[in-house]
Every structure is written in structure tokens, then in C-alpha cells.
């Protein structure tokens, strides 16, 4: 064989992967990799590339492998344990997460590429084949056991059987629940939901709900806009769930009625923390003792806070303990934010 194929980088895992995180970072920086602040490498994890850039606060799980010629990983990116990304070009945007046991690989070509936007999640046991480029836009969710293939071949094309090599492109805010199969050459627009266990063999426009095998459009002009009143009801329900979440994790919750529009909620665990909630017809916001502001109104972020979250414009700035917990919690409702810092 002219070309040697080493599927699992055993040598690198044994020589570098077993080293502590700070030693790996030193070795990688000596090799010319650009490694940001607070990057962590778990036992067995390795990065193998020619041009490597890893942003601040990113982490790599137990025996995870990233291998490619060009690797550009943003800030606050997480790669789960036993996951492997092996393709020519790897680009992952800020705040994206790839869970455990995800495999990215297959036949490599000069244009093989996986490009993931910001705040993308790929759930466990998914297999992605970027022989041709796969581009996934911001805020996409790919459920577990999903399959994305950019090539399909087995029987001889000289005998008339089909052989396909074609890229896959997904727009922003696309949701693939569990066990969705995307075929080569498919393009999916923005704000598309595909039903679980679907086979997508043809392109889908923006703002549709599709399902089936093969997938067909079920609903157009999707989703339907909701009223301000409905949004307010949803917000209060999420806030109530957040308080329940803190209570479940052994925080003591006490609610005091302050006036017709305001409540004071005291949250305590090892040390006291207070959240003040203000609710009226036009604005829904709460404030925390550690200088957090969360606002859901057209006025946006105003004032000087350690951390501020704007639910309308989907922006965040700064950090605080309560704020980070709230951001993590409401991601389960599909609410994510651009970082302004």
C-alpha cells in the first residue's frame, strides 16, 4: 500500500495522552499549537494537527481524539469522552459541545471538512462522515444516533450502480432529534425541525417541519410567532422551573411578597444569596445578589452588572455563579446566547 492508514493514534495516546493536562499544553505549545487559557485535557485525550488553534476554556474528555491538518476550535468548546474527530479541516465555534462516543471520520479528501457554528450540540453515538464538507450553522442540535453521510457507494458504478459524493449544509437553528439520517448532497435551511427516525434524502427549505422516511414537509411557515402575552407566561414558567431546579439541588427557597408586581426570593446553601424578581406587563427581569441581571424586554441590557443576560436579543456579557447556572438551565428550553465579551 502506498498510503498508510492509522485509524487510531495509539502511539500518541500512549506517549502524550497519559500525561497531565499542563504537560500536554506545554508540549503542544512547543509544537507550535496555539492553546488558550484554562484549556483542559483529560487522561488519554490528544490533539494531532499541523495548524492548531484552541480557544480559552475548552475541554477534551477521557481518551478523546482530534486529528486533522487544520484545527480551529473556539472558546468554551467541550468534547466528550471516547469521541473522535478525524478529518482534514476541523472548525468548531464557541460554546459548542460534542458529547460522548461521537465519531467523525471516513474517507479523507483535500476538501474534507467539518465546520460547526456556535452553540451547536452533537449528542452521543452519532456518526458523521465529512468526506465532502459538512457545514452546520449556529444553534443547531443533532440528537443521539444521528447519521450524516457525504458519500454513498458500495456496488460498482461501472455496472450502473449509484455512487454519490456530495457535501451537506445545514443552516442556523436546525434540530435533528434522535436517529435522523442525512444523505449526501442535502441542504437544509434555517429554523428547520426534522422528526425523529427520519431519512432526509432531499433538500429542505427554511422554516419547515419535516418527518418520515423519506422525509416530507409537514408544516410550512414554521414555527408560528407567539404573542407577547404568551411569551410572558412561558418566561414565568421557566423561572418557576429554575427555582424548582435550585430547590432540588438543596438550595433553600423562600418567597416573600413585596408588592403587587414584585417578589423577593431568598436562596441559601453554604452562603446566602438573594434573587429579586420584578414582573409587570412590559418587562420580566430578575436580579441576584452576585450582581446578575436577566431581562426579557425591548429595553435590553442597561446598567453595570457582573453578568447580564438579554433574552430578547439573545446576548450575554460577564459571568456570575447564579448567571452561569441560569444559562445552563435554560439551554434545555433551547435558549442560548451570543457572548459580548
**Model confidence pLDDT, tens digit, residues 149-181:** 999 999 999 999 999 999 999 999 999 999 999
pLDDT in tens, 265-279: 555 544 444 455 444
Round the CA-based radius of gyration of the chain to a whole number and report it. Answer: 23
Distance CA 319, CA 309 (A): 10
Cell of 335: 435558549
Lowest mean pLDDT among 14-23, 219-228, 287-296: 287-296
Residue 211 predicted with pLDDT over 50: yes
Residue 123 CA, distance from chain mean position: 9
Looking at residue 281, what is its pLDDT? Answer: 42
Distance CA 71, CA 51 (A): 6
What are the CA-CA distances from residue 76 to residues 29, 94, 161, 317 (Å)? 19, 6, 45, 14
Among left, alpha and beta (phi > 0; psi -120 to 50; other), residue 250 is left
Amino acid at each position: 500500500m502506498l498510503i498508510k492508514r492509522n485509524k487510531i493514534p495509539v502511539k500518541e495516546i500512549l506517549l502524550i495522552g497519559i500525561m497531565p493536562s499542563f504537560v500536554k499544553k506545554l508540549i503542544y505549545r512547543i509544537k507550535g499549537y496555539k492553546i488558550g487559557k484554562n484549556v483542559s485535557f483529560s487522561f488519554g485525550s490528544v490533539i494531532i494537527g499541523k495548524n492548531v488553534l484552541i480557544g480559552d476554556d475548552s475541554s477534551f474528555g477521557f481518551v478523546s481524539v482530534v486529528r486533522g491538518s487544520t484545527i480551529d476550535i473556539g472558546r468554551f468548546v467541550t468534547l466528550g469522552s471516547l469521541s473522535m474527530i478525524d478529518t482534514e479541516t476541523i472548525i468548531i465555534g464557541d460554546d459548542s459541545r460534542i458529547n460522548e462516543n461521537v465519531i467523525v471520520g471516513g474517507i479523507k479528501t483535500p476538501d474534507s471538512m467539518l465546520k460547526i457554528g456556535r452553540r451547536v450540540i452533537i449528542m452521543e453515538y452519532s456518526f458523521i462522515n465529512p468526506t465532502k464538507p459538512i457545514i452546520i450553522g449556529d444553534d443547531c442540535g443533532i440528537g443521539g444516533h444521528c447519521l450524516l453521510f457525504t458519500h454513498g457507494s458500495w456496488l460498482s458504478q461501472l455496472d450502473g450502480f449509484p455512487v454519490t459524493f456530495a457535501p451537506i449544509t445545514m443552516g442556523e437553528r436546525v434540530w435533528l432529534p434522535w436517529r435522523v439520517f442525512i444523505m449526501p448532497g442535502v441542504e437544509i435551511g434555517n429554523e428547520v425541525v426534522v422528526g425523529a427516525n427520519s431519512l432526509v434524502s432531499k433538500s429542505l427549505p427554511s422554516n419547515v417541519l419535516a418527518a418520515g422516511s423519506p422525509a416530507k414537509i409537514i408544516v410550512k411557515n414554521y414555527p408560528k410567532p407567539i404573542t407577547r402575552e404568551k411569551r410572558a407566561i412561558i418566561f414565568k414558567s421557566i423561572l418557576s422551573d429554575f427555582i424548582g431546579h435550585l430547590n432540588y439541588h438543596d438550595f433553600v427557597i423562600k418567597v416573600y411578597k413585596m408588592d403587587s408586581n414584585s417578589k423577593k426570593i431568598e436562596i441559601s446553601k453554604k452562603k446566602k444569596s438573594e434573587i429579586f424578581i420584578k414582573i409587570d406587563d412590559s418587562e420580566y427581569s430578575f436580579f441576584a445578589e452576585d450582581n446578575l441581571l436577566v431581562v426579557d424586554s425591548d429595553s435590553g441590557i442597561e446598567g453595570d452588572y457582573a453578568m447580564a443576560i438579554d433574552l430578547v436579543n439573545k446576548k450575554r456579557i460577564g459571568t456570575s455563579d447564579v448567571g452561569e447556572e441560569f444559562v445552563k438551565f435554560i439551554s434545555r428550553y433551547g435558549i442560548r446566547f451570543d457572548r459580548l465579551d
